[in-house]
Amino acid sequence: MLLLLEATVLGVFSVHTSLMFYVFFEASLIPMFFIIGKWGHGDRISAAFRFLIYTGAASLLFLIGLVYSRVFSLGIFESFYADVSVALALPIGIRIALWIACFFAFAVKLPMVPCHTWLPKAHVQAPTLGSVLLAGLLIKMGGYGFIRFCLSALPEISWKLSEFVVYLSAISLVYSSLVAFAQKNMKTLVAYSSVAHMSFVAAGIFSLNESGIVGAIFQMLSHGLISAALFLCVGMIYSRTGTMDMSKCGGIAASMPKLSFMMIFFSMASAGLPGTSGFIGEFLSILGIFQAFRFTAVCFAVGVVLSAAYTLRLCREVIWGSSPEGAKVIDSDINAVEFVILGILAALVLFFGIYPASVITFLKPWISAILPELQKFQLSWG
């Protein structure tokens, strides 16, 4: 299943034709469905079917858009550098309908509020490895889809509706952050933090400027590393305590100092600590949003504060909190293999945080190629 999932995800990010993109995009659901349904926890069957139905059904509109494009030989979804004049020749209603079909499919996959309800349940019931793959790889297909189809194929509609997307992203960020702060389950908290961080991605992409798009892509890379590490930390705690309830596994600092250190580091990276990749992604995204929507950028700055609030709460209750009477006593810290795995992820988070040019330099030529097409349709925000 893991090899099949890897193959389908690689297919999504490497194919050039829209039809093969859709095939791989949908095929990736199958191995993840079985990973959750067969090896998950508790209510895993319900979570697996919710994941499959939500994301599969959302893609049907996208499929209809692809079929329409194919039947009428439009070719607007065929490459990053499609002939935009073909799309402009279509009636405005058709262009908007095609854009909505693409946007909805990828908003569910990302996910954005209110299309997010499948994600927390899938994360909680999935095995640790399933959560790592879901957060690290699968939801990134939503951000890639925004760039690949909404921006590249329909730039004019993206300009017209960018304000709506950024406002929706701000709502998604604040809502998911507040919900994350209220959680008692560690995995649910990290799952909602993923929704919050993906809001930076959506808003950065639809800020439609270099800083925002670079920040969004950097945020996807950073979140893939940080969220994977946090889910691994939660899984390691769960394997030793048998619970994900923060109130029942508090005070691990004394018994698990190495894991506590790693969890603090990745929590701070998730909150955007300078020197980590989380800071670069959020800073560039907010900078891009500020250039296009100054008032909304304030909401995203508040979102950073909320991110720090729920991650600090996670650390306070799990690492320094008190365990109730009768709670399982933890008598072993993480082993050498677990420490090396987390150490590699920590090294990458630090490397990209200290040397972001390693990614930005790679992205700039491609962004320079698509920005001129986007800027042709730039609206006056005044």
Q: Write down the pTM of the prediction.
A: 0.92
Q: Which residue has the tokens 């509020």?
A: 113
Name the residue ranges covered by the structural domains of the chain: 2-375
The residues, ordered by sequence, that sit 6+ positions from 314 with a Cβ below 8 Å of its Cβ are 186, 189, 190, 246, 263, 267
3-class SS of residue 243: coil
- 126-175 per-position pLDDT tens digit: 999 999 999 999 999 999 999 988 888 888 889 889 999 999 999 999 99
Please, what sign has the CA dihedral across residues 171, 175, 178, 181? negative
The DSSP H or E segment spanning 261 is helix 257-270
Q: Report the pLDDT value the prediction gives residue 139, as an integer from 0 to 100.
A: 93
Beta partners for residue 245, in sequence order: 185
Cα 215 to Cα 176: distance, rounded to the nearest angstrom: 20
Residue 276 to residues 108, 170, 279, 295, 355: CA-CA distances in angstroms? 28, 23, 6, 26, 9
Distance of CA 169 to the CA centre of its chain: 12
- 42-101 per-position pLDDT tens digit: 889 999 999 999 999 999 989 988 888 777 656 666 655 555 556 666 778 888 998 999
